[in-house]
Amino acid sequence: ADIAALKLKAMAEDKVGASWNKFEDEFGVQQLVWQSVMLTKTKTSDRSAFQSQIDAIKAKFDDILSMKSTSADNALLALEQLLSQNDGPIDIVNKSTFDAGNDVLKQNRLATPRYELAEKLANAHIPASLPQSAADRKATEVLVEACEIKEPQLARSVRQALLLPIPAHLGAPVTAKKTPSTMTAVSSKRSSSTGVLGAKPSRKLSEAPPFQPASRGEPLVRIKDSI
């Protein structure tokens, strides 16, 4: 649960930062597109009108990126107002820039439930913090879904830690496989060798007659016979 909590916090932070970086990159590409389009304008009046459009929209984008470092909330509000003025990409702003702006809003919106879920996971070792009633489980389920966790392993770990049902597409929880004891394996291996403690003695050795030393009286009998 602690690892899942850390991953969720990192996800919230990384996704927000990555979305802003993508937005800035797309805006840089958009400015290159504006320069290329300007070269196609042959009439002075057309060039002037297009330049005015560029200056107006660029000023808004610059303000948003400038506010991001001082007040992220104000930057998000300005970005939302800019994008809400149009239902989709406009002639002067391409789709990639428009989509990147919407992703900034989305990732910042998702950060709130992700932090909240991370807090729940950090306290999951406390039984009282886990969902007790059906209403609690339903609320926790809604919170998990609101986080839009795309990584199957993380989503499965989150649900398992919070005692929530695991959908079939996430797979069953991973459990450790039992392995034979090392001593058992070594003992079994050794028992197959000859002459090792615990192994059965060879049949030939077990049937060999016991050693009998020569009788002490034998030399005296030979001496007496020789006389």
pLDDT digits 0-9 by tens, 79-118: 999 888 765 556 688 899 999 999 999 999 999 999 999 9
CB contact at 8 A, 97 and 9: no
Residue whose token pair is 């499965």? 156
- pLDDT given at position 184: 47
What's the rounded Cα separation, in Å, for the pair 222 and 227? 9
Q: Contact 118/8 with Cβ under 8 angstroms?
A: yes
Coil vs helix vs strand at 93:
strand
124: nearest Cα among 145, 110, 150, 144: 144
- Residue range 189-214: average pLDDT? 49
Q: Residue 90's pLDDT is what? A: 62
Residue 23 has pLDDT above 90, yes or no: yes
At 140-188, the pLDDT tens digits run: 999 999 999 999 999 999 999 998 888 887 776 555 455 554 444 444 4
Task: Give the per-residue pLDDT at 26.
Answer: 96
Q: Which two tokens stand for residue 83?
A: 């994008």
User: Which band of pLDDT confidence, cut at 50, 70 and 90, is reported for residue 138?
Assistant: very high
- Position 41 scores a pLDDT of 85
Place of tokens 């000023």: 59
Choice between 205 and 137, residue whose per-residue pLDDT is larger: 137
| Mean pLDDT, the chain, whole residue set | 80
Residue % of the chain over a pLDDT of 70: 73
197: DSSP letter: T
pLDDT of residue 73: 94
Mean pLDDT of the 38-60 span = 89
DSSP notation for 32-54: HHHHHHHHH--SHHHHHHHHHHH
CA distance 69 to 76: 11
- pLDDT above 90 as % of the chain: 50
